[in-house]
Structure 1
């Protein structure tokens, strides 16, 4: 399974937003710069996260983005589904019914075994993502990452955070 680059950007931005205090925001341009991605590309994904109720967009001079709910109530699955959509990654096209040998539909009354296996894997994948919150990822990062990386993220957030308006 291949997820788009937007998933990684969305998760990282959600993580850095989780470090903000109540009412504080970060501008999209600063997050795009921090991760070396196009501001317009990032804005597309941030707007999707807002539409899905994961982030809030705050207008004005102290505006920017912040979490719409506590980081322990936002899962990796929430972010992935917001960016990639809710459809399963595998979509059975019933190709077993194609080709030069046409058999009656009744031959294929039993569900496709390939589709069943792929949907089972999708359920497991989604369950694993649903078990992990943004707060979990932030806590793991703070506990296990190189202290220089933690300091860099903290310094970035401190530099660009905008106080409550």
Structure 2
């Protein structure tokens, strides 16, 4: 099981916005330079976060990206779903068998992981941050 690099960049971007400027706009160039990633690539990730309602985007000379109000409540799971989608990690080859024990175990494990990620918010992590991401 592996999340994409896009999820990694999305989580770090959200935390960087939290640490540096929760109420200010930062340009894609600054955000990309911080993570040493292409601004074009990061822009695609930011677009998904905007569509998910987690950040806002303003065009123009004084534009950029900033966290939406109530950003503290955004969970890691919500960020992951914004980037990866919400399909199951496990695709049982016997989907037509409701008694498949393997599928039951995998679904149960995934539900527990998702609950943990849902319980972790960027606001909670922001309180624990002592270093710049």
TM-score, structure 1 length as denominator?
Answer: 0.74
Which has more radius of gyration?
Answer: 1
Partners of 1:92 and 1:21 lie apart in 2 by 42
Q: 1:130 maps to what in 2? A: 118
Classify the secondary structure of the residue corresponding to 2:77: helix
Classify the secondary structure of the residue corresponding to 2:62: coil
Alignment length (residue pairs):
132
Classify the secondary structure of the residue corresponding to 1:18: helix
Aligned pairs (5 A) from 1:144-163: 149-150=131-132
Q: 1:11 maps to what in 2? A: 11
Shift of 1:135: 1.3
Shift of 1:4: 0.5
Shift of 1:71: 2.7
Give the alignment partner of residue 115 of structure 1, picking from 93, 99, 103. Answer: 103
Shift of 1:141: 1.8
Shift of 1:93: 2.5
Q: 1:94 to 1:134 in 2, by over 3 A?
A: same
1:50 pairs with 2:38: no
Asked if 1 retains the 8 angstrom alpha-carbon contact of 2:22 and 2:67, the reply is: no
Classify the secondary structure of the residue corresponding to 1:66: strand
Shift of 1:64: 0.6
Classify the secondary structure of the residue corresponding to 2:60: coil
Aligned pairs (5 A) from 1:27-106: 27-94=27-94
Partners of 1:64 and 1:120 lie apart in 2 by 40
Classify the secondary structure of the residue corresponding to 2:40: helix
CA RMSD of aligned residues (A): 1.8
Segments of structure 2 that go 5 or more residues without pairing to the other structure are: none
Q: 1:21 to 1:113 in 2, by over 3 A?
A: closer
Partners of 2:116 and 2:15 lie apart in 1 by 18
Shift of 1:21: 4.7
Q: 1:98 maps to what in 2? A: none
